[in-house]
Amino acid sequence: MAVISRGFGGRRRESEPNLPPGQYLTEDFPVLSAGPTPRIDTSEWSFGIRDESGALKSWTWDELHALPIEDVHTDIHCVTRWSKLGTNWRGVSLDTLLADIDTSASYAMAHSYGGYTTNIPLDDLLGGQAWIASEFEGEPLDPEHGGPARLIVPHLYFWKSAKWVRGLTLMDEDAPGFWEQNGYNMHGDPWTEERYW
């Protein structure tokens, strides 16, 4: 028995098992950015991972795209309560990028062009849970949505999915990123409503 009602421009299906608590469904793709959209040419783009000893490994756009690209079919959940089910992305798995990096760190800080940061436990970036995505629904990712490439960690609230990502810093100790310093949760699991501290 499906219960469907309309409101706030979104549809709430109480019986939708893929909708985490407190979320409503949207067919739109809202843009949520804390500042202006940076424009980064792929010829100038790079992605780097700095480990806890300070060693840096980085990839140019072409180097990144020479790695295996995966199709990702996933739901996304924003802490402002919209969820979008069944989105399609293409990107390089963080498993691939972290494979050659010898680290005992437990946390990562994602850094974006434009200055945004967000912290994520390393375990949440491994095991087929996170990608550097450059395509959405068969098209290059729009700049407003983080193009040329963004992090996606879709099992966590979407603020962890840093748009215009330029790198990760691996850390032994957890530290808060941009929204986390402003009261958002250090982890952000939508199923247990880890919204704020």
Ligand X SMILES: Nc1nc2c(c(=O)[nH]1)N[C@H]1C(S)=C(S)[C@@H](COP(=O)(O)O)O[C@H]1N2
| Residues in contact with ligand X by the rule CB under 6 A | 29-34, 78, 112, 114, 116, 145-146, 158-159, 161-164
By C-beta, is 32 or 99 nearer to Mo ion? 32
CA distance 127 to 93: 9
Between the alpha carbon of residue 178 and those of residues 11, 84, 153, 188, 190, the distances in Å are: 30, 23, 16, 14, 19
Q: Which amino acid is at 27?
A: E
By C-beta, is 99 or 138 nearer to ligand X? 138
By C-beta, is 38 or 121 nearer to ligand X? 38
Closest approach of ligand X to the CB of residue 66, in Å: 25
Q: Which amino acid is at 153?
A: V
Here's the x/- map for Mo ion, 10-49, by CB under 5 A: it reads as ----------------------x-----------------
Query: 78: how many CB neighbours lie within 10 A of its CB?
Result: 17
Token pair of 115, please? 């200055």
Between the alpha carbon of residue 175 and those of residues 52, 65, 192, the distances in Å are: 13, 30, 21
By C-beta, is 97 or 165 nearer to ligand X? 165
By C-beta, is 50 or 163 nearer to ligand X? 163
Closest approach of Mo ion to the CB of residue 194, in Å: 13
Here's the x/- map for Mo ion, 61-80, by CB under 5 A: it reads as -----------------xx-
Q: Does 159 contact Mo ion by CB under 5 A?
A: yes
CB within 8 A of 102, min separation 6: which ones? 51
Cα angle value 123/127/180 (rounded, 5°): 35
Closest approach of ligand X to the CB of residue 112, in Å: 4
Token pair of 41, please? 């040419």
By the criterion CB under 5 A, which residues form the site for Mo ion? 32, 78-79, 159
